[in-house]
Amino acid sequence: MSGPAPAHGAATASLLLALADDDFVLGFADSEWTGIAPHLEEDVAMSSMAQDELGHASAYYGLLAKLTGRDPDEIAYDRPAAAFRHCRLVDHGRGDWARTMARRWLYDTANAVRLEALAQSTDRSLAELVVKVRREESYHLAHDEAWIERLANHPGEPRRRLIEALDLVGPDAPSVLAPLADEPALLASGVQPVGGSELQALWLERLEPVLVRTGLRLPAPAAAALDPVTARSGHGSDFEALWTEFTFVRRLDPVATW
Amino acid sequence: MTANLGATSLATAGAVERTWQVLAGIVDPEIPAISIIDLGIVGRVSLTAGVLEVELLPTFIGCPALEMVRGTISQRLEPLRTDPQLAIGRVAITTSYAEPWTAERITATGRAALRASGFAPPEVGTAGHEALPPRATCPYCGSRRTVLENAFGPTRCRSIHYCTDCRQPFEQFKDG
């Protein structure tokens, strides 16, 4: 196995956990739309994207499991809610369709910037996985942008709801790229080639054309979304409810098999 | 000793060869017209120190059919594993992203099999990225005048298209 020196193991583990938890929590939240999306084709699209996110999470948990000698299912299902390290943006519940779309768009664009950098990671198994993940994410980005424009360009309720959604989740959006507490070690080893602040600037550039075209505005960042610790801890009641749901079977019967 | 080594590597080559033959008989659970070899999802097969490794390259990372494929492979390889002449101690089915699956991996036989069952094979080299929406050739009439109806089809690896010439909806197998 190639990869960074073992000294960097703990920092790499924290990066993998952040990547995995983000996709895992978003995937679970979005899977709640299965059966109730605005129309049938959207139902299929949203379910497919949720499936992708869970697939990506599972692959990141797999790398983390290899690194730490643990079982991927244990990492995913046996932690208390407070031990999850997903970012504040995906901590919001799915809300209405506009909120789900606003959150997806902000997350997918930020994640795209992060993955573009990680494709150059010195951790080879992570870099290889990221190449594959990025190909799949390109479908999500196209889907998100189409929906943001569709809602934004429809005066009245759709645009109003989208603006409300951006006002609610927008301040937390920079949390996806907030520097991790271990960032100095990750940058030194090259496991994460580009730092969080630089990624945030690249992300804002990426959003700009859509914001200009639609006349939408991204609210100012919340202080908690920029801090390495609060960006990924102190989860709210939406996540407590989601955690209760996705750990239900595991808590009921830890050795259940399909 | 040289003779023994020769005999061992011959047995190894035989086991690998027979493994490929077994794999060629396993079909994709979602599109049973195509074998997993023609779909290109088998990377390497090797036998080292008694471990027979079959490396899978998933079309999509979260593909739920992969677990079924894994189960079928291990079941079909059981006669080989228990054959004392082949000296296989254990079968390991692994996944790899080192050389990720792309449409280029589908064989000519595989592309023909997809078309024959009403699927447009992926257009090589148009994967995701800036090339969206992906182009598709109608598997019924061969027309290029087709439109993308939905990038997300009945399974993760399929998109839905419509042919404006023969007016048939059809599915395309997506590039990964």
The per-residue pLDDT for range A5-23, each reduced to its tens digit, is 455 799 999 999 999 999 9
**pLDDT at residue A74 greater than cutoff 60:** yes
Which pLDDT score, from 0 to 100, does residue A217 have? 97
- Mean pLDDT of the residues in chain A: 95
Helix (H, G, I), strand (E, B) or coil at B32: coil
What does the DSSP assignment read for chain A? ---S-GGGHHHHHHHHHHHHHHHHHHHHHHHTTTTTSSSHHHHHHHHHHHHHHHHHHHHHHHHHHHHHT--HHHHHHSS-GGG----HHHHS---SHHHHHHHHHHHHHHHHHHHHHHTT-SSHHHHHHHHHHHHHHHHHHHHHHHHHHHHHTSTTHHHHHHHHHHHHHGGGGGGGGSPPTTHHHHHHHTSS-S-HHHHHHHHHHHHHHHHHHHT--PPPPPGGGTSTTGGGSS--HHHHHHHHHHTHHHHH-TT---
Which pLDDT score, from 0 to 100, does residue B1 have? 42
pLDDT tens across A82-141, in order? Answer: 999 999 999 999 999 999 999 999 999 999 999 999 999 999 999 999 999 999 998 899
How many pairs of residues across A and B have Cβ atoms under 8 Å apart? 71
Q: And the tokens for A190?
A: 């090259």
**Which residues are paired to B120 by β-bridges?**
B172
Residue of A48, A49, A133 lying closest to B61 (CB–CB): A133
> For B120, phi and psi rounded to 5 degrees?
-80, 130
pTM of the model: 0.90
Which CATH architecture fits A6-252? Up-down Bundle (1.20)
Of 3.30.300.130, 3.40.605.10, 3.90.950.10, 3.40.630.10, the CATH number of B2-95 is 3.30.300.130
Are A113 and A206 within 8 A, CB to CB? Answer: yes
Residues of chain A with Cβ-Cβ distance to B156 below 8 Å are 48, 51-52
pLDDT tens across A182-222, in order? Answer: 999 999 999 999 999 999 999 999 999 999 999 999 999 99
> For B125, phi and psi rounded to 5 degrees?
90, 10
Is the ipTM higher than 0.90? The answer is no
Residues of chain B with Cβ-Cβ distance to A45 below 8 Å are 150-152
Say whether A45 and B156 touch across the interface (CB within 8 A): no
Residues (pLDDT < 50) of chain B are 1-3, 128-131
**Test the A interface: residue of B152, B159, B161 with most A CBs within 10 Å:** B152
Residues of chain A with Cβ-Cβ distance to B105 below 8 Å are none
Which pLDDT score, from 0 to 100, does residue B129 have? 47
Which pLDDT score, from 0 to 100, does residue A257 have? 79
The residues spanned by each domain of chain A are 6-252
The residues spanned by each domain of chain B are 2-95, 108-173
Half-sphere exposure of A141 (CA within 13 A, CB side): 20
Say whether B128 and A128 touch across the interface (CB within 8 A): no
Of A190, A241, A257, A248, nearest in space to A25 by CA:
A241
Are B23 and B45 within 8 A, CB to CB? Answer: yes
